[in-house]
Amino acid sequence: MTDQDDLTARRERRETTRVDPSNSRSWLLLSALRSEDFDAAELSRADQLVLDCEDAVDDSRKDEARDRVLDWFRTGGRAWVRVNERGADSWADDMSAFRDADGLRGVMLAKCESPDQVVDTVQRLGGDVPVIPLVESALGIEDAVGIARAPGAFRLAFGSGDYRRDTGAANEPLAMAYPRSRLVTASRIGELPGPIDGPTVGSSHPLLREQSGDAVAMGMTGRICLDLEQPAVINETLSPAPADVAWALDFLTEFEGAGSVIRDGSDKPRLARARLIAERSRLFGIDPS
C-alpha cells in the first residue's frame, strides 16, 4: 500500500465518525499556509477543519495560500475555507478560486456585517456552497437577525477577538453575554443551528473548559479552536454529560410508559430538553453508563 492509499483509507475511516456541520462542536482554524499540517488537522478529533485564507495570511501571500489549499484538495483533502470579507480585493479572488473546487465543504465569510454580503458570496460560489457568516463587529451583531435570515446562511459564528477590538469589551462572561445572546437569538429566528463561539487563546485546559462552559450556558453549540489539543476538550464540554443523558433517557422512558400524556406545566419544557439531550447524545455517541 502506498502512502497515498494509506492516507485515503484513514480519511475514509475518519469520515465515518465525523459529526455533520449542523451539529459540529469543534471548528479547527488553521492557516492556509501551513499545508504540512493539513492532513493531521483533517484526521484530528476536530469535527470540522477550516483553512484560513484571511487574517492568518499576509496580503502578499494570498495567492500562495489559495494555491496550497487547492493543491491539497486535489489529493483528496476536504475542508471549509475562511475567505476574506466582502469588499476586500481578495474576496473576489477567493470566489474565483474556490467556486466548484472539489474538496470544499463550505466557506466561513470573515467580518460579515449585512445580509447582502452573505447573498453575494452564495451567488458567486454557485448557490450550493454553505456559507457561515463570521460576525465580528458591533454592526454585525446588531444586524445578526438579518444575517441569519439571508438566503444561503448555514450557521452563524462569532469573531470574538475582532468584536472586542471593535467595541473595547473585555474577555469576560458578562461582557460577552450580549453578543453571544444576540447570535443565539438570531439563529433561532433564522431557523439555523446554534451558533459557533469564538476561540480561547492559549493552551490552558481549565480556561478552555471554563470559557466553553460559558458559551454553552448562553446557547452556543460550537466553538472555533486554534490547535490540535483543543478539539477534544471542546467536544467534551459541548456534549451532554453522561449524567444528563441518563436523566433524559429515564425521563423519556417514564413519560412513554405513562402513555405520553402531559401531566402538568413542567412536562413540556422537560420533555423538550430530554429529547434534545437524547438526540445530541446519539449524534456524539455519549454512553450514559
pLDDT for residue 261? 80
pLDDT for residue 2? 84
All CATH 3.20.20.60 domain ranges of the chain, comma separated, are: 3-237
pLDDT for residue 112? 98
**Partners of 196 in the β-ladder:** 157, 222
pLDDT for residue 165? 96
% of the chain surpassing 70 pLDDT: 100
Model confidence pLDDT, tens digit, residues 37-75 = 999 999 999 999 999 999 999 999 999 999 999 999 999
CB 51 within 8 A of CB 81: yes
Q: What is the mean pLDDT of residues 210-230?
A: 95
Q: For residues 198 and 222, give the distance between their C-alpha atoms in angstroms, rounded to a whole number.
A: 9
Asked if the model's pLDDT at residue 289 lies above 80, the reply is: no
Q: What is the mean pLDDT of residues 189-197?
A: 97
Asked if the model's pLDDT at residue 144 lies above 80, the reply is: yes
Q: Is 216 helix (H, G, I), strand (E, B) or coil?
A: helix
Q: Report residue 36's pLDDT band, with 50, 70 and 90 as the boundaries.
A: very high
pLDDT for residue 265? 75
The structure's pTM equals 0.92
Q: What is the mean pLDDT of residues 249-275?
A: 83
Q: Report residue 81's pLDDT band, with 50, 70 and 90 as the boundaries.
A: very high
pLDDT for residue 5? 82
Q: Report residue 23's pLDDT band, with 50, 70 and 90 as the boundaries.
A: very high
Asked if the model's pLDDT at residue 1 lies above 80, the reply is: no
DSSP one-letter string for 46-110: -SEEEEESSTTS-GGGHHHHHHHHHHHHHTT--EEEEEPPBTBHHHHHHHHHHTT-TTEEEEEET
Q: For residues 185 and 146, give the distance between their C-alpha atoms in angstroms, rounded to a whole number.
A: 12
Selecting from 3.20.20.60, 1.10.1760.20, 3.40.50.880, 3.40.50.620, what CATH number does the domain 3-237 have?
A: 3.20.20.60
